[in-house]
Chain A
Amino acid sequence: MSDIIGLILISVGLLFDVFGCLGLVRLPDVYNRLQAATKCVTLGTCSILMGTFIIVGFCAAGIKALLCILFILLTSPVAAHAIARGAHRSGVKLCKESVVDRYTEDKEGEL
């Protein structure tokens, strides 16, 4: 039974990872791509690790999988935040569909 649940979780994780990669290709600029990459890849990878944990149970690999989930949830948004801020500060423009950019407005006001 736990094998089936684990395999379902791993499949769901793979599906979300695929959507994340598709977003990486289809979306127009760095910020939108980060959104797809961060969200889908975080849940996808966590789901794969959770599936692994359910299949193998409380042994060495299972506990490492749980720790990895914790660290991915803590670090991946921070990394996305750092990349987005760095990109904006080094002058990467938003794509032309964008409707509003308060960050640039405020930064120009300060200079």
Chain B
Amino acid sequence: MKSRIILFILGFVIWCLLSWVPDWQHMVVGVFVAALVAFLTGDLFIQRPHVLKHPQRYFYFFFQYVPIFLWEIIKANIEVAYRVAHPALPIRPGIVKVKTILKSDTALTFLANSITLTPGTLSVDIDTKKSVLYVHWIYVKTEDTEEATKIIVARFEKILKRIFD
């Protein structure tokens, strides 16, 4: 039920932003649309609503995760641009296996998204039972699982663990 209410509020806010400037006709339609969406998909949205109550999680998210994430995206783009524009095409692709200590679905989703948007890596599959991610790497520096984990996952894992677990 909590999850449905949160989804309703979030959906209504996004509806209002999309139909900016808000007037009462849009708002009334928005209430019905948000209620329908919350009714149909509400139980999928958040499994553990108590996580939303801690202000320090928002602080870590906006002041630790977001800056690192943006910086890594910019680095990733420059790296891909370099590899693509280089005449010799310096690639050494492969799929490596990395381990993770994260457990919750949201954290794993954010980890996979971060891996995809950071330099040279693209998450291919997750095995939640063994807590293993398969990552396609455009320039494989090491085939060893431990070392690859250290290079790819470690920089996000600590922050995400504090935010989502």
Give residues in A with beta carbon < 8 Å to B: 16, 19-20, 22-23, 26-29, 31-32, 34-36, 38-40, 42-44, 59-60, 63-64, 67, 73-74, 77-78, 80-81, 84-85, 88, 94-95, 97-104, 106
Give residues in B with beta carbon < 8 Å to A: 14, 17-18, 20-21, 73-74, 76-77, 80-81, 83-85, 89, 91-97, 109, 112-113, 116-117, 120-125, 134, 136, 138, 140, 143, 145
Add 16 more A-B contacts to A64-B18, A77-B116, A84-B124 (CB < 8 A): A16-B77, A16-B81, A19-B77, A27-B91, A35-B121, A39-B76, A39-B80, A60-B20, A77-B123, A81-B116, A81-B122, A81-B124, A85-B125, A99-B94, A102-B143, A106-B134
Given that A35-B80, A94-B95 are contacting pairs, would A42 and B73 also be in contact in the complex, using a CB cutoff of 8 Å? yes
Given that A22-B84, A36-B80 are contacting pairs, would A103 and B20 also be in contact in the complex, using a CB cutoff of 8 Å? no
Whether the pair A31, B122 counts as a contact (CB closer than 8 A) is yes
In-complex Cβ contact of A40 among B77, B125, B138 (8 A) = B77
Contacts of A19 in B (CB 8 A): 77, 80-81, 84-85
Contacts of B94 in A (CB 8 A): 94, 98-101
CA distance A32 to B95 in the complex (A): 11
CB-based nearest B residue for A94? B93
How far is the CB of B61 from the nearest CB of chain A, in Å? 13
How far is the CB of B19 from the nearest CB of chain A, in Å? 8
CA distance A104 to B125 in the complex (A): 11
How far is the CB of A60 from the nearest CB of chain B, in Å? 5
